[in-house]
């Protein structure tokens, strides 16, 4: 699902320090093949591409795109892309909006809006751990089929 790339003023500036910490944290995991901090095509994010060895052959790309703001608002977008051209996506968000409470989750398979209201921990490490656990369960389910 396309995401608005403009950052509303209410989110505030990107928190580069937290993004650097997130990138360093993800780099310690074997899950990812490539981690880019604020690449040219996503200068406000960390983009982490999964090692495709964790997925069945029909998955051609799986990645996280994480944006974190000085206001502690965030967006963690997960996408799987398939040989068929289909995608499976979801997104964890904390930001002011007119479609949900500030904290919400956009359900797969298309991360549609509105999402479901949610409660997230305060610390970025706890949020990231919860997201990665949920995605680990998603990946494990491929092999349990």
Kindly report, residue by residue over 50-108, the tens digit of the pLDDT.
Answer: 999 999 999 999 999 999 999 999 999 999 999 999 999 999 999 988 888 899 999 99
Interior/surface letters 75-109, b for 16+ CB within 10 angstroms, e for the rest: bbbbbbbeeeeeebbbbbbbbebeebeebbbbebe
Residue 122: which residues within 8 A CB-CB, separation 6 or more?
A: 72
What six digits make up the tokens of 27? 């780099």
CA angle centred on 116, ends 67 and 140, rounded to 5° = 70
- In the sheet that 46-50 helps form, which strands lie side by side, from edge to edge? 32-37, 46-50, 59-68, 74-82, 87-94, 103-106, 116-117
The owner of tokens 């901090």 is 37
Q: Which residues pair with 81 in a beta bridge?
A: 61, 87
Q: In terms of Cα–Cα distance, which of 15, 119, 116, 3 is closest to 74?
A: 15
Calculate the average pLDDT of the chain.
90
What six digits make up the tokens of 77? 């977008």
Of all residues in the chain, the percent with pLDDT exceeding 70 is: 92
């Amino acid at each position: 699902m396309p995401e608005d790339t403009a950052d509303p003023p209410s989110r505030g500036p990107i928190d580069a320090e937290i993004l650097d910490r997130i990138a360093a944290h993800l780099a310690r995991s074997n899950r990812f093949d490539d981690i880019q901090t604020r690449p040219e095509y996503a200068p406000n994010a960390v983009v982490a591409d999964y090692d495709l060895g964790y997925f069945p052959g029909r998955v051609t790309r799986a990645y996280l795109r994480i944006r974190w703001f000085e206001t502690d608002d965030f967006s963690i977008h997960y996408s799987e892309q398939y040989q068929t051209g289909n995608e499976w996506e979801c997104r964890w968000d904390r930001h002011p909006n007119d479609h949900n409470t500030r904290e919400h989750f956009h359900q797969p398979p298309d991360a549609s809006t509105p999402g479901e209201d949610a409660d997230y921990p305060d610390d970025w490490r706890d949020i990231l751990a919860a997201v990665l656990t949920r995605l680990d369960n998603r990946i494990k389910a491929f092999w349990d089929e």
